[in-house]
Structure 1
Amino acid sequence: MKVSVLLLTYNEEINIERCLASLDWCDDIWAIDSGSTDRTLEMLKQGGVKVLHRPFDNFANQRNFGLDEADWKHDYVLHLDADEESTPVFREQIEDLSASDAVDAWNVPSKTILLGQWLKHAGMYPSYQVRLGHRERLRFVQVGHGQREDLPADRVGTLNVPYNHYNFSHGMQKWLEKHVRYARDEAEELSHAQRQDEAGLATGGRRRLKQIANKLPPALRPAFRFIYVYFVRRGFLDGKAGLAYALMMATYEGMIGSFVFEQPMNDTARISSGDTARS
């Protein structure tokens, strides 16, 4: 199968060269840039990438914008971020695919890389996201800080070979700063799910973990996440990287719990604001 590629970029000069080098087999690459101020745009231009511009609000809207606005050469689009890369085996898997009217998109696994090491155990491998799909039939919806496919499950296939994800390429401080925003979004989703009794919507390994965590008191979430990543998933077999990741995940869960505590005050403020506006 011939595919086009859609990249999401924002100040990714540290990653973009590796990403584009891994995509030298693709003849149609587009990027949605969110206002880069480093050398990202220059490097994209040098790599022959066509660039669209859109301020970032969430991942689903960025990807949907690209699907709607780009002049695609191929019917199927591979969605990657700049800190992700294809591999030769991943490329072969895609080339061996055949278009089908029965499948609109494919779930794709990824390898999480930390401190130069694949987190085989701590990184929840294999966890899947829909990252390849028909340019007209696949659209995304935002859930928490990430996106999910807007498709019935029976229209989604599954690939077996992963791409690589360098989640921490900007350093742990940047990762933590970014995950403060993610934690806020997750807390809002959790509060909404609890109000609507929708916690059971989660499916798949990572989504099942979220379902369990969502039912825990906020104060217990960090300990649960550390125990699950480091002991249940045997993250200790990943050495120093596995321990670092388990601690980071526990910290992230603590941030979500803190924002959950803040939600009732936010809801009260919104209700009060609405009452004031109506009076």
Structure 2
Amino acid sequence: MVSVLILTYNEEVNIADCLDSVAWADDVLVLDSGSEDQTVEIAEAKGARVMERPFDSFADQRNYGLEEGSLQSDWVLHLDADERVPPALRESLLTIAGDEEAYDAYRVPSKLIFRGRWLKHAGMYPTYQVRFGQREALTFTQAGHGQRAALPPGRIGTLDEPLRHHAFSKGLADWFERHNRYSTDEARRALRLYAGSRLDWQGLFARDEQRRRRALKDLSYRLPFRPLLRFLYVAVGRLGILDGRPGLTYATMLAVYEYMVGLKLDELRRQGQDPDRASTASDPHEAAASTSPQ
């Protein structure tokens, strides 16, 4: 048996399809952050249990659901409303839930969907997040504008079957609004690095993919022409051009995001602001965030 915990805020566009994709689960909890649309009504009509809690961070929301949500299963799948569980992933989850020798938690890959197309190359597939784990073992800590599993790498396995992530289901305006906020957080993080934090040089060669990605990200803050480099990396280095016009459009959007980060970093440095003043995301509008811009 598997329980499902879904975080929501104004997700009437997404919640029905998300719940339909986990209709096989006997226990589904929607933890809402005060939606002002029909999210709660739709979730209840679909048979999900609904709890409400003011948003403070993604990690705290997920941990609250684990602790106070009366989840019925020892295994919990954590979702955002713009994610879908295909049948193949469902079978993998159910198999693991019945395996006495399973890891405490699992990284789940994600297919990024843009304009009806899977961005196989531009979406940097596969990217992973820890989203499935044992209720008593898996908790979360806040990391940037997303969350990170509070477990050592040796206790985390990796699944092959992916989620489908419909990150653009609310339209491009919503994407740019969210990434405007993310770029502020990222500029502050970059400022901390410039203020004297040391780069994780060993992490560049680590076996743990998540640590390696973070180390590369930190190193990238020191590079010139970041927007152009980001576009070339996604469109050429990752073969995003093979995803056609959607892939090139997405590569351009990521370059714009990097330009926003650079502008805000320059502004913070000119103003001499404290990088720790107000860095991490705390807005329920960001309920579809991940650990990297998508």
**TM over 0.5, yes or no?**
yes
More helix by share: 1
Query: d(CA) in 1 for partners of 2:191 and 2:101?
Result: 38
What RMSD in Å do the two structures reach over aligned CA positions? Answer: 2.0
Query: d(CA) in 2 for partners of 1:266 and 1:53?
Result: 39
Of residues 223, 243, 263 in structure 2, which corresponds to 1:216? 223
Residue in 1 aligned with 2:282? none
Determine if contact 1:143/1:189 at 8 Å carries over to the other structure: no
Q: TM-score normalised to the size of structure 1?
A: 0.90
Aligned residues: 268
Residue in 1 aligned with 2:91? 92
Determine if contact 1:5/1:30 at 8 Å carries over to the other structure: yes
Alpha-carbon displacement from aligned partner over 1:43-92 (angstroms, at most 9, x marks no partner): 01111111221222322121112112110100111010000000011101
Query: d(CA) in 2 for partners of 1:118 and 1:268?
Result: 40
Query: d(CA) in 2 for partners of 1:228 and 1:249?
Result: 10
Of residues 101-110 and 78-87 in structure 1, the stretch that sits farther from structure 2 once superposed is 101-110
Residue in 1 aligned with 2:231? 226
Of residues 260-269 and 159-168 in structure 1, the stretch that sits farther from structure 2 once superposed is 260-269
**CA, structure 1 residues 192+44, in 2 after alignment: closer, same or farther (shift >3 Å)?**
same
**CA, structure 1 residues 222+94, in 2 after alignment: closer, same or farther (shift >3 Å)?**
same
**CA, structure 1 residues 269+108, in 2 after alignment: closer, same or farther (shift >3 Å)?**
closer
Residue in 1 aligned with 2:46? 47
Query: d(CA) in 1 for partners of 2:46 and 2:40?
Result: 10
Residue in 2 aligned with 1:276? none
**CA, structure 1 residues 134+262, in 2 after alignment: closer, same or farther (shift >3 Å)?**
farther
Alpha-carbon displacement from aligned partner over 1:219-252 (angstroms, at most 9, x marks no partner): x211111010000000010001101110111111
Residue in 1 aligned with 2:4? 5
Determine if contact 1:124/1:206 at 8 Å carries over to the other structure: no
Of residues 181-190 and 82-91 in structure 1, the stretch that sits farther from structure 2 once superposed is 181-190
Of residues 257, 260, 277 in structure 2, which corresponds to 1:255? 260
1:186 aligns with 2:192: no
1:207 aligns with 2:214: yes
Determine if contact 1:5/1:26 at 8 Å carries over to the other structure: yes
Secondary structure, aligned partner of 1:267: coil
Determine if contact 2:115/2:246 at 8 Å carries over to the other structure: yes
Q: Give the CA deviation at 1:270.
A: 8.4
Secondary structure, aligned partner of 1:196: coil
**CA, structure 1 residues 43+270, in 2 after alignment: closer, same or farther (shift >3 Å)?**
closer
Determine if contact 2:4/2:79 at 8 Å carries over to the other structure: yes
**CA, structure 1 residues 199+58, in 2 after alignment: closer, same or farther (shift >3 Å)?**
farther
Query: d(CA) in 1 for partners of 2:163 and 2:157?
Result: 16
1:104 aligns with 2:111: no
Structure 1: segments with no counterpart, 5+ residues: 272-279
Q: Give the CA deviation at 1:196.
A: 2.1
Give, as a single letter, the amino acid of the residue that structure 2 aligns with 1:117. R
Q: TM-score normalised to the size of structure 2?
A: 0.85
Query: d(CA) in 2 for partners of 1:269 and 1:183?
Result: 13
Give, as a single letter, the amino acid of the residue that structure 1 aligns with 2:13. I
Query: d(CA) in 2 for partners of 1:85 and 1:50?
Result: 18
Query: d(CA) in 2 for partners of 1:250 and 1:269?
Result: 23
Residue in 2 aligned with 1:162? 162
Query: d(CA) in 2 for partners of 1:197 and 1:270?
Result: 16
Query: d(CA) in 2 for partners of 1:158 and 1:189?
Result: 28
1:151 aligns with 2:148: no
**CA, structure 1 residues 270+154, in 2 after alignment: closer, same or farther (shift >3 Å)?**
closer
